[in-house]
Amino acid sequence: MNQVSTPVDPDVSAFEQGELLIYATEAVMGIGCDPNNEAAVKKLLAIKQRPVEKGLILVASNYSQLLPFVDDNAIPQDRRFAIFSCWPGPVTWLLPKSATAPQWVTGEHDKIAVRVSAHEGVKALCDKLNGPIVSTSANPSGDEPARTIEQAKAYFGNSVHYVPSEVGGAAQPSMIKDAMTGAIIRNA
């Protein structure tokens, strides 16, 4: 009996093997990895020259992909409309973190930064990976974020996996807001 082999998606394979992925977001190229893979996250932090204490953003195609990382029950009813009416879209919310959210993603914080993206490439990538991805700008800390794969290659060369995609039309990275207070942490 012949076995039919399923083609391996190179993006999924790279993600599962703990490689860093460069992919387009709404405004810049992002660099990310599997948020559950501590070694991959540490590699990302090293290549970005970013301290773990700062924490990282997770981006997803839908809110259900974020539920393992978010304490949904701790979100007050009166804040839910403000949060969910912005998604999918360019707002990152600081939500209460779940008891199982990895410290290598949350850093020193009691909240986790999450976004449900409207960018078709990000949504397709998260759907292929069947979950969220760590998302930070593709640049060493202090340098300008890459806006094309070519610019990202100038920073990272062949040390990462590139997902063919184009940056959306946003001029700035996502706004970051505290879900509990509504305070703007980073303006777009």
What is the CB neighbour count within 10 angstroms for residue 184?
Answer: 12
CATH of the domain at 165: 3.90.870.10
Residue 148 phi/psi, 5-degree rounding, is -140, 160
Domain count, the chain: 1
Tens-digit pLDDT profile for residues 58-69: 999 999 999 999
User: Would 1 be classed as within a structural domain?
Assistant: no
User: Would 96 be classed as within a structural domain?
Assistant: yes
Confidence of residue 8 (pLDDT cuts 50, 70, 90): low
Question: How far, CA to CA in Å, does 165 sit from each of 74, 123, 155?
Answer: 36, 12, 17
Query: Which has the minimum average pLDDT: 5-14, 35-44, 85-94, 99-108?
Result: 5-14
Q: How many residues does the chain have?
A: 188
User: Would 5 be classed as within a structural domain?
Assistant: no
Q: Give the Cα separation of 93 and 177 in Å (integer).
A: 5
User: Would 2 be classed as within a structural domain?
Assistant: no
- Structural domain boundaries enclosing 170: 10-186
Instruction: Give the three-class secondary structure for 22.
Output: strand
User: Would 18 be classed as within a structural domain?
Assistant: yes
User: Would 4 be classed as within a structural domain?
Assistant: no
Highest mean pLDDT range out of 1-5, 7-11, 101-105, 167-171?
Answer: 101-105
Average confidence (pLDDT) over 135-144: 92
Q: Give the Cα separation of 111 and 174 in Å (integer).
A: 17
**CB within 8 Å of 120: residues ≥ 6 apart:** none
Secondary structure of 105-120 as H, E, C letters: HHCCCCEEEEEECCCH
